[in-house]
Amino acid sequence: MVEPAPGTPAALVRRLLANLLKAALTADDRHSLAWRQEARRIRSQLMANPSALERLKIDGLWWLAIGDAEAPELRAEEKMIEWGQPKICPITIAEISASDFDVDRAVQHLRETAATG
Protein backbone atom coordinates (compact mmCIF):
# COMPACT_ATOMS: atom_id res chain seq x y z
CA MET A 1 0.00 0.00 0.00
CA VAL A 2 1.16 3.52 -0.80
CA GLU A 3 1.81 5.76 2.18
CA PRO A 4 -1.15 8.14 2.65
CA ALA A 5 -0.34 11.85 2.41
CA PRO A 6 -0.12 13.53 5.85
CA GLY A 7 -3.37 15.09 7.04
CA THR A 8 -5.57 13.11 4.66
CA PRO A 9 -8.44 10.98 5.98
CA ALA A 10 -6.37 7.87 5.18
CA ALA A 11 -3.41 9.17 7.20
CA LEU A 12 -5.70 10.08 10.10
CA VAL A 13 -7.35 6.64 10.13
CA ARG A 14 -3.91 5.04 10.08
CA ARG A 15 -2.84 7.19 13.05
CA LEU A 16 -6.10 6.45 14.87
CA LEU A 17 -5.62 2.69 14.44
CA ALA A 18 -1.95 2.90 15.45
CA ASN A 19 -2.82 4.79 18.64
CA LEU A 20 -5.60 2.34 19.49
CA LEU A 21 -3.21 -0.54 18.95
CA LYS A 22 -0.44 1.07 21.00
CA ALA A 23 -2.94 1.53 23.84
CA ALA A 24 -3.93 -2.13 23.50
CA LEU A 25 -0.35 -3.42 23.43
CA THR A 26 1.13 -1.52 26.36
CA ALA A 27 0.97 -2.55 29.98
CA ASP A 28 1.92 0.99 31.09
CA ASP A 29 -1.34 2.69 32.14
CA ARG A 30 0.09 6.19 31.67
CA HIS A 31 1.15 5.51 28.11
CA SER A 32 -2.08 3.67 27.33
CA LEU A 33 -4.06 6.68 28.54
CA ALA A 34 -1.95 9.08 26.43
CA TRP A 35 -2.51 6.97 23.29
CA ARG A 36 -6.23 6.74 24.03
CA GLN A 37 -6.43 10.53 24.37
CA GLU A 38 -4.58 10.96 21.08
CA ALA A 39 -6.97 8.47 19.44
CA ARG A 40 -9.92 10.54 20.68
CA ARG A 41 -8.36 13.72 19.28
CA ILE A 42 -7.72 12.11 15.88
CA ARG A 43 -11.23 10.67 15.72
CA SER A 44 -12.64 14.11 16.44
CA GLN A 45 -10.70 15.42 13.42
CA LEU A 46 -12.06 12.57 11.29
CA MET A 47 -15.64 13.35 12.29
CA ALA A 48 -15.33 16.84 10.80
CA ASN A 49 -15.80 15.13 7.40
CA PRO A 50 -17.15 11.60 7.97
CA SER A 51 -18.18 11.11 4.32
CA ALA A 52 -14.47 11.15 3.37
CA LEU A 53 -14.06 7.88 5.27
CA GLU A 54 -16.48 5.93 3.09
CA ARG A 55 -13.98 5.42 0.27
CA LEU A 56 -11.12 4.18 2.44
CA LYS A 57 -9.81 0.63 2.40
CA ILE A 58 -9.22 0.09 6.09
CA ASP A 59 -7.37 -3.24 5.87
CA GLY A 60 -4.38 -1.67 4.09
CA LEU A 61 -4.32 1.14 6.62
CA TRP A 62 -4.53 -1.48 9.39
CA TRP A 63 -1.31 -3.13 8.22
CA LEU A 64 0.49 0.21 8.08
CA ALA A 65 -0.83 1.00 11.59
CA ILE A 66 0.44 -2.34 12.91
CA GLY A 67 3.91 -1.42 11.66
CA ASP A 68 3.64 1.96 13.40
CA ALA A 69 2.42 0.47 16.68
CA GLU A 70 4.91 -2.39 16.80
CA ALA A 71 7.92 -0.12 16.37
CA PRO A 72 11.16 -1.43 17.94
CA GLU A 73 11.33 1.45 20.43
CA LEU A 74 7.94 0.43 21.86
CA ARG A 75 8.60 -3.33 22.18
CA ALA A 76 9.65 -3.16 25.84
CA GLU A 77 6.14 -1.94 26.75
CA GLU A 78 4.20 -4.43 24.64
CA LYS A 79 3.04 -6.87 27.27
CA MET A 80 -0.74 -7.02 26.83
CA ILE A 81 -0.80 -8.95 23.54
CA GLU A 82 1.65 -11.76 23.00
CA TRP A 83 1.38 -12.96 19.42
CA GLY A 84 -0.09 -11.10 16.53
CA GLN A 85 -2.86 -9.13 14.97
CA PRO A 86 -5.63 -10.33 12.67
CA LYS A 87 -5.05 -9.85 8.92
CA ILE A 88 -8.36 -8.02 8.55
CA CYS A 89 -8.89 -4.89 10.61
CA PRO A 90 -11.12 -5.77 13.58
CA ILE A 91 -12.59 -2.24 13.56
CA THR A 92 -14.65 -1.07 10.60
CA ILE A 93 -15.01 2.39 9.10
CA ALA A 94 -18.70 2.24 10.07
CA GLU A 95 -17.72 1.60 13.70
CA ILE A 96 -15.21 4.47 13.69
CA SER A 97 -17.89 6.76 12.21
CA ALA A 98 -20.64 5.68 14.61
CA SER A 99 -21.82 8.25 17.14
CA ASP A 100 -21.35 5.73 19.95
CA PHE A 101 -17.72 4.86 19.08
CA ASP A 102 -15.84 4.36 22.32
CA VAL A 103 -12.03 4.38 22.37
CA ASP A 104 -11.83 2.24 25.51
CA ARG A 105 -14.11 -0.41 23.99
CA ALA A 106 -12.07 -0.34 20.78
CA VAL A 107 -8.84 -0.92 22.73
CA GLN A 108 -10.41 -3.83 24.60
CA HIS A 109 -11.72 -5.25 21.31
CA LEU A 110 -8.20 -5.15 19.84
CA ARG A 111 -6.87 -7.02 22.85
CA GLU A 112 -9.58 -9.65 22.49
CA THR A 113 -9.14 -10.17 18.74
CA ALA A 114 -5.36 -10.58 18.80
CA ALA A 115 -4.04 -14.06 18.15
CA THR A 116 -2.75 -15.19 21.52
CA GLY A 117 -1.36 -18.57 20.60
Spell out the domain ranges in the chain.
9-113
pLDDT of residue 29: 86
- Per run of 10 residues, the mean pLDDT along the chain (length 117 residues) is 81 96 86 95 95 92 88 58 72 96 96 69
pTM: 0.86
Assign 115 to helix, strand or coil: strand
Q: Which of 1, 50, 24 is nearest to 103 (CA)?
A: 24
Number of CB atoms found within 10 A of residue 9's CB: 21
Q: Which one-letter DSSP state was computed for residue 5?
A: P
pLDDT of residue 72: 61
pLDDT of residue 117: 38
In CATH terms, 9-113 corresponds, of 1.20.1220.20, 1.10.510.10, 3.40.50.720, 3.30.1450.10, to 1.20.1220.20
Helix residue spans in the chain (DSSP H) = 9-25, 29-46, 58-69, 93-97, 103-113
pLDDT of residue 9: 95
